[in-house]
Chains A and B, each alone.
Chain A
Amino acid sequence: MLAVTALALLKLRNLFAVAMLAGIYSLLSAGLFTALDAVDVAFTEAAVGAGISTILVLGTLALVGHEQKKSTRSSVIPLLVVLVTGSILVYGTFDMPPYGDPGNPAHHHVAPHYLEESAHEIGIPNVVTSVLASYRGYDTMGETTVIFTAMVGVLLLMGGVRKRATSEMASGPASGPSDQELDGEPHQQPDGEEDPDGG
């Protein structure tokens, strides 16, 4: 099902449908995460991947239009690159441990410690939470830094758009014949602009 959705994404030219299918793809993968015992990841993927990402893409579409033009470029070279990369990755999996085997090396380093000791050391039943907030707290702090940086970047980029749009409106529709790129109704912009700030 995921594969069908991904292939449909490739073929579709209407970007609204692409945004919706991307949300469906995220939701399907959230279901798969639940089946793979990762309930916390499933929550986050459903809320963030299927929710916020879709809103962000829709907000952008409101600003830039939603039809993709037919591409004239050849698709042979990308296909070749993808096939070569894919076969190298498949070759790499021959050294991977089999799926679901309890003897895999990943399950024998710190994971048993987290599972056995976190009840005494942290005192929270959800092991994922104790690892996230305590054992690997520095990771989470780094993540927060990344989000902060991204938000500052979004605000700087979008703030410029807003300022130019208002000065455009203030100077009246008669001026600026050279700015044909801005004729997509500057009034729309406040709607779409709130969304990237939320990310």
Chain B
Amino acid sequence: MIYLIATILIYIMSKRIYKQYPKAYLTPLLVVPVVLVTALIVLDIPFQNYEKGTSVISYFLGPATVAFAIPIYKHFELIKKFMVEILSSIVAGSVVAVLSSFFLGYIIHLSGSFMTSIIPRSITTPIAMEVSKTIGGVPALTAAFVVATGIIGSIVGPHVIRLFSLTSPVARGVSFGVAAHGAGTSKAFEFGDQEGTFSSLSMIIAAGVTLVWGNTWIPHFQHLFIQ
């Protein structure tokens, strides 16, 4: 119960601070885990205790994922209109996400479980953890990489958009959604409603596409390189 209340209180405080000072490094997604991790280490609390105490919060991820049906339904016409752009760029982006994570990890000699767990890092947490399980990774480790991706994506995202001079709302939205899932999507909404909608949809489709990759070519690919 203490862990639950502490997590929610720190989250609310952090959200207030972010509202006042909307700097990328002050996002609650970064600040709250840092505060809590520090607290667990300093007070020598085992993670399992914290995890048990906050399982109610994690439960909400399920219904929240279901709730994504609502914006998709509301903007279904817009989505149908841009289907070709959305699908082709998501397929391209999700392949780049898997391959670049893998090869960059290869270059810095990541150990086996890290290497496998980093592959699905660009998609939304619940599905990334699922893909991780499928391909033999450690779901908790994948969750950590996913969160790191979200934070980094929302910090570098606006610069990337300028760098590649992405002008259409569909391109901006999709690139946020594919590269940085939920955290990227909340950044995309800062650009505009259309960007945000495209981003939330892309995040879902990208997760679905990566799930398919995890059950088809990724295992063969791993076989080829890890031995």
Q: Does B bind A?
A: no
